[in-house]
Amino acid sequence: MPAKPAPIKKSVKKAAVKEEKPPEPEPQAPPAEAPPAEPAPPQTPAPVTEGPADEAAAPPTDAPVEAAPAETAPVEEPPKAPTPPPPAMPTSAPQNLTVDDVSDTSVSLKWRSPENFGTSGLDGYTVEYCKMGSSEWVVANTELTTSNHFVIKNLATGDLLNIRVVAVNAGGRSEPAHLHQPVAVREIVDRPRIRLPRALRSRQVKKVGSQINLLIPFIGKPKPVISWTKDGQPLDTKKVNVRTSDKDSILFIRKAEREDSGVYEMTVKVDNFEDKASLVIQIVDLPGPPASVKLVDNWGFNAALEWTPPKDNGNTEITGYTVQKADKKTGEWFTVLEHFHRLNATVSDLVMGNSYVFRVFSENKVGRSETATVTKDVAHIQKTGIVYKPLEYKEHDFNEAPKFTAALSDRATTIGYTTKLLCAVRGTPKPKIEWMKNQMLIGDDPKYRQFNNQGVCSLEIRKPSTFDGGVYTCRAKNDLGEATVACKLEVKKVIILEEKI
């Protein structure tokens, strides 16, 4: 029997541990008999959990077991096996898979990275597509792509595709990220939109005869269909031209007329989508004259007028009126009031004893009406108790015998140099002037030229010679008498001094 407890080294250790537990009936005896077993308790917690070892240690609870502590010192715990690495886990599904662009042969995709990369990171993505009505998924990329953007190329136009993206790592494939709706392989449709400039959002006011050139940009894909209407009706191409490109449309009117006013509507349409923009164009002209002008009353130095608005306002509001007056004697018009806003006015400071007529012009943003409306009645400004008595003046007799106010002066000239004799005379009636040389009438001799301008008399002697010297006399005479003045003219020779050598 002693041979049985010896080989059970591990059981002895566990038995000692079991003796320390409170359920044993004799808990105090083992510590007194076997003090060497006290260091063993720190290693006991792990073996206590093993059920089979407890069953083997239960029978040897008698004397042979108490002798075993001497052999427990060399017992060692076997080394634990290394903890195996956790199994690789796939990532979560990619996020927010959307279509970035579509053409006739390709689909461009983009997505966000998975929220969870698992235990081994991320190796890349696989993009797959399946035609509508088929169950076969085709891999679009032969190698994993690490980008969050991919373009599926070489597709057939008109196909309807279901698309998904899968994240791949050492743990395998993640759950796929699907597009919510199938994608039609065709050029993507951008909703049409008109970019109406700020300047065109308000009413466009243009003068008659001016040129209109309005450019309106727009966007849309594929190329939109552009249409224009005026007041809900198609445009008259004889008056209005439209030029459209891929990015904008131009409304062009070479010479605007009043009939071109209205609401122009531009429509941009792509498939079932459309956008509209309205332009209000107002063509304005000079207004017509007031419908009527009436002289209501006149008193003292004043006259009261009334008039009615014009029938034609020039397609814009009337901003004022211009009132003018004219004296019947002179017929000249003078402006009394300008930019006047009321339909009645009082004209003051009229001249007593004169008669006046009045006219009124209309004004708008373009300018003043070309014609005016004239009053039919005449305003007579009566004299009030004042009688003009002209003074009596004795008529003055302006007749006068000739009288020289400037006499002739003696002159000296040189042979060949033209000279002139001057004097001034007055008289009423206008006196007759005669020139004499040495008391002989000169008459119409071509050598002399005679002038009489406003009483200034002159005699011009052309290139005189020595024979032209003498006494010259100017005689003025009329019905009341005559007067004379005389002077002496000396003609000198040219003296040439020769230098002696």
What average pLDDT does this structure show over 181-204?
Answer: 86
| Pairwise pLDDT comparison (39 vs 327), residue with the higher score | 327
Predicted local distance difference test score (pLDDT) of residue 37: 43
Please report the pLDDT score of residue 4 as a whole number. Answer: 44
Judged by DSSP in three states, 113 sits in: coil
Mean pLDDT of all residues in 328-355? 92
**In the prediction, which pLDDT does 81 show?**
66
Q: Is the pLDDT of residue 39 over 60?
A: no
pLDDT of residue 89: 84
Which residue is associated with the tokens 């004209």? 347
Distance separating alpha carbons of residues 194 and 268, to the nearest angstrom: 7
Q: Measured between alpha carbons, how far is residue 303 from residues 12, 159, 231, 334, 436 in Å? A: 145, 89, 48, 15, 70
pLDDT at 288: 94
Both tokens of 46, joined, read 């792990």
Q: Which long-range CB contacts under 8 A does 327-332 form with residues at least 24 apart?
A: 327/351, 327/354, 327/355, 327/356, 328/354, 328/355, 328/356, 328/357, 328/378, 329/354, 329/355
**Average pLDDT rounded to a whole number, residues 42-52:** 41
Rounded to an integer, the average pLDDT of 300-310 is: 93
CA distances (Å), 146 to each of 153, 166, 177, 375, in order? 18, 12, 16, 93
Per-range mean pLDDT, top range of 68-72, 113-117, 336-340? 336-340
* Closest alpha carbon to 360 in 378, 348, 347, 373: 373
* Res 191: pLDDT: 80
Q: Which residue is listed with tokens 């956008």?
A: 275
Question: Residue 361 above 80 pLDDT?
Answer: yes
Greatest extent of the chain over all pairs of C-alpha atoms, in Å: 206
Question: d(Cα 11, Cα 31) in Å, to the nearest integer?
Answer: 18
Give, for 66, the enclosing helix (H) or strand (E).
helix 63-66
Q: What is the mean pLDDT of residues 287-314?
A: 93
Q: What is the pLDDT of residue 46?
A: 41
Q: Looking at residues 358-382, what average pLDDT do you find? A: 93
Q: DSSP states of 438-465 as a string?
A: TTEE-TT-TTEEEEEETTEEEEEE-S--
What does the pLDDT average to over 290-309?
93
Provide long-range contacts, Cβ within 8 A and 24+ apart, for 260-267: 260/212, 261/315, 262/230, 262/231, 263/230, 263/231, 264/228, 264/229, 264/230, 264/235, 265/228, 265/229, 265/230, 265/232, 266/194, 266/216, 266/226, 266/227, 266/228, 267/226, 267/227, 267/228, 267/229
Judged against a pLDDT cut of 90, whether residue 335 lies above it is answered with yes
pLDDT at 362 over 90: yes
Instruction: Summarize the confidence of residues 28-35 as an average pLDDT.
Output: 42
Which pLDDT score, from 0 to 100, does residue 63 have?
A: 42
- Average pLDDT (130-138) is 89
Tell me which of 32-46, 68-82, 171-185 is least confident.
Answer: 32-46
Residue 278 has pLDDT above 70, yes or no: yes
Residue 32 pLDDT level (bands cut at 50, 70, 90): very low
- Residue 24 above 60 pLDDT? no
Residue 162 scores a pLDDT above 50: yes
- In contact, 183 and 105? CB cutoff 8 Å: no
What is the predicted pLDDT for the residue at 80? 67
Mean pLDDT of 221-232: 90
pLDDT of the residue at 374: 94
Residue 36 vs residue 236, higher pLDDT: 236
Say what the pLDDT of residue 496 is. 66
Q: What is the pLDDT of residue 120?
A: 77
Residue 148 has pLDDT above 60, yes or no: yes
pLDDT greater than 80 at residue 5: no
More confident residue, 407 or 80: 407
Res 386: pLDDT = 64
The DSSP letter of residue 21 is S
Report residue 67's pLDDT band, with 50, 70 and 90 as the boundaries.
very low
Q: Which tens digits make up the pLDDT trace of 390-426?
A: 888 888 888 999 999 999 999 999 998 999 999 999 9
pLDDT at 385 > cutoff 50: yes
**pLDDT, mean over the chain:** 82
Mean pLDDT of 239-251: 92
pTM of the model as a whole: 0.42
Q: In whole angstroms, what is the distance from residue 46 CA to residue 43 CA?
A: 7
* 49-62 residue pLDDT tens: 344 334 443 444 44
Is the Cβ–Cβ distance between 472 and 486 less than 8 Å?
yes
Give the separation between CA 348 and CA 293, rounded to whole angstroms: 17
- Percent share of the chain, pLDDT over 90: 54
Structure tokens that stand for 356 in this block: 């006046």
Beta strands in 222-272 (DSSP E): 225-230, 233-234, 241-244, 248-253, 262-270
Region of 455 please: left (phi>0), alpha (psi -120 to 50) or beta: left
